C-alpha cells in the first residue's frame, strides 16, 4: 500500500497475468506459447507497444483500492469514461465501484492542504496551477478558512442525521471536493498504462500525479517490460 496526500492511499488488491500473459495472448494466433519470458518475448512486447497492437495488453488485469479526495476521484472517473470510448483501442476493460454515503456513515475525512501546498493560478492557461503561494499570510488564511468550513459542514451533517434526516440527504451539508472517497478500480494493463501516460505528465493536476506515481510503483514489478514499453 502506498500513502498519498496525507490520509489517502493506493492498494494493489489483485493482479491477473504477467508480461508472459501479453506474449502468449499475441502468439495464440500461431498456436504457440512460451513457458518463461526470454529475449525473443521481450522483443515481441516492444514490437506490440511500438506498433500499437494493444489487444494482448488487455489480457492482463490489475485491481486497486483507492482512497482519494473527491476532486481526484471525479477527474479519474472522467478519464475512465473517455478511455472506454476510444475507437482506436476498443473496450478498455474497466470496472469502478465506489463507497456510498447512502449506505454508510463512516466519519467524514477531508484533504486540507497545508501552508506550503497551496498553488497560484497559472499565468497562461485556464486550467492547472502555477508555482507555490509565497505569501504566508494568504496561504495560512486559506488553510484556516478551509478547516473552519469543513468543521462547520461536519457539524451540520451530524445535526441533520440526529434530527432524523436520511444520510443520503444529510451528506449535502458536507463540503464535497476535499472529502476522501474510497473505490475499487479494475482495469486492463493497457488501460492502466494509458492512465499513467496521461496523469504522469507535468501538466496533469498535481494531486492526481501523486496517485499515478503510486499506481506506477505498485504495478511495474508485475509487468516490468510491458509498463516500460507502454509509457
Question: Which of 198, 214, 221, 192 lies closest to 19 in space, CA to CA?
Answer: 221
Residue 126 has a pLDDT of 66
Positions marked catalytic: 199
Residue 91 has a pLDDT of 55
Q: Which fold has domain 2-104+180-230?
A: Gyrase A; domain 2 (3.30.1360)
> What is the pTM (predicted TM-score) of this model?
0.86
Pairwise CA distance, residues 113 & 123, whole Å = 21
pLDDT tens, residue order, the chain (231 aa): 999 998 999 999 999 999 999 999 998 876 777 888 999 999 999 999 999 998 999 999 999 999 999 999 988 887 675 555 454 444 556 787 777 666 556 788 999 999 889 998 877 766 778 888 988 899 999 999 999 999 999 999 999 999 999 988 998 999 989 999 999 999 999 999 999 998 998 888 899 999 999 999 999 999 999 999 999
Burial of 75 (0-12, 13-18, 19+ CB in 10 A): middle
Residue 85 has a pLDDT of 43
DSSP 28: G
Cβ(209)–Cβ(126) under 8 Å?
Answer: no
Residue 121 has a pLDDT of 83
Residue 81 has a pLDDT of 58
Domain layout of the chain by residue ranges: 2-104+180-230, 115-173
Amino acid at each position: 500500500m502506498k500513502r498519498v496526500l496525507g490520509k489517502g492511499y493506493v492498494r494493489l488488491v489483485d493482479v491477473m497475468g504477467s508480461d508472459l500473459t501479453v506474449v502468449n495472448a499475441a502468439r495464440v494466433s500461431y498456436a504457440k506459447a512460451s513457458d518463461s519470458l526470454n529475449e525473443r518475448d521481450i522483443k515481441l512486447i516492444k514490437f506490440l507497444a511500438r506498433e500499437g497492437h494493444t489487444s494482448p495488453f488487455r489480457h492482463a488485469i490489475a485491481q486497486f483500492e483507492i482512497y482519494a479526495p473527491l476532486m481526484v476521484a471525479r477527474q479519474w472517473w472522467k478519464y475512465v469514461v473517455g478511455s472506454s470510448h476510444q475507437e482506436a483501442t476498443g473496450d478498455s476493460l474497466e470496472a469502478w465501484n465506489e463507497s456510498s454515503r447512502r449506505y454508510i456513515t463512516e466519519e467524514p475525512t477531508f484533504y486540507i492542504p497545508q501552508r506550503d501546498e497551496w498553488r497560484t493560478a497559472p499565468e497562461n492557461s485556464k486550467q492547472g496551477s502555477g508555482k507555490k503561494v509565497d505569501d504566508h499570510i494568504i496561504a495560512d488564511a486559506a488553510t484556516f478558512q478551509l478547516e473552519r468550513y469543513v468543521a462547520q459542514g461536519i457539524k451540520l451533517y451530524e445535526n441533520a442525521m440526529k434530527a432524523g434526516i436520511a444520510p443520503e440527504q444529510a451528506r449535502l451539508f458536507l463540503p464535497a471536493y476535499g472529502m476522501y472517497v474510497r473505490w475499487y478500480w479494475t482495469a486492463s494493463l493497457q488501460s492502466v498504462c494509458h492512465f499513467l501516460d496521461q496523469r504522469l505528465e507535468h501538466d496533469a493536476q498535481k494531486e492526481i500525479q501523486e496517485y499515478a506515481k503510486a499506481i506506477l510503483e505498485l504495478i511495474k514489478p508485475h509487468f516490468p517490460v510491458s509498463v516500460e514499453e507502454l509509457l
